[in-house]
A and B are shown apart, each in its own frame.
Chain A
Amino acid sequence: MANGPLLIVLLALAGVAAATLLGLALAGFARRRSRPYLLVALALATLLIRVAVASAAMAGLLTDPDHHLAEHVLDVLMAALVIAAVYTARSVRRRANADTDTEREVVDDD
């Protein structure tokens, strides 16, 4: 493969960046313990899975069509998770206390 070395460098960079982002997202979720944070973390996890899939393809463990399909499935998954995060952020509603203007998060029991 002509682009072999370049591809390996790119994959390594993508792996480090995706792992850092996922680490931040998991730390954020550990702090907040809310559904939107979990969904954001899962969405960012798909970035890391992408790197794993690409590495598997490079190592010959995955055929090109399978690799292609997997990447697009992950795209759909990521978009769906972000949409779900945005959506649930709406149902983690802020209830302005009757006599205060500090809000507390209240999870809808929908």
Chain B
Amino acid sequence: MNDQVTLSPTTLSIHLTINGRDHALDIEPRVTLLDALRERLNLTGTKKGCDHGQCGACTVHVDGERVLACLTLAAQVEGRAITTIEGLADDDGTLHAVQAAFLEQDAFQCGYCTPGQIMSAVACIREGHAGSDEEIREYMAGNLCRCGAYPHIVAAVRQAAKELSA
């Protein structure tokens, strides 16, 4: 691609880099990253909640920053590094500090929002926005939990932030 625009046919052939692996896909332009992950690549850890950018259940990382997969077109993130909840633990199965903290603090009930909460929390800590409970609540506000596990979620983020800075 150079000076001109690239016109798609009805179906796009794209490559996505997800959790360090390359995936080739033929998709319609309107397919979101969320639907590509869940329906095409069987990466169902990323959840579909509202599908309108209001609940945070579909939070993934693109080039290390947390974004909403439901409002991201799959075609748009070609060439970017995508990380989902499946890519967070070590290859040997050792959990990420945030995952371990959510278990220890019992930071969920039904668990549906949890992958999004964890992906958001990893980024929140990395951004330096987990300095106090107040700051954690503000910067985790994009992740809704209908079970109301918020106090335990804040405790888990606080614990993981402490561990990761140690």
- Do these two chains really belong together in a complex? no
Residues of A at the B interface (CB closer than 8 Å) are none
Residues of B at the A interface (CB closer than 8 Å) are none
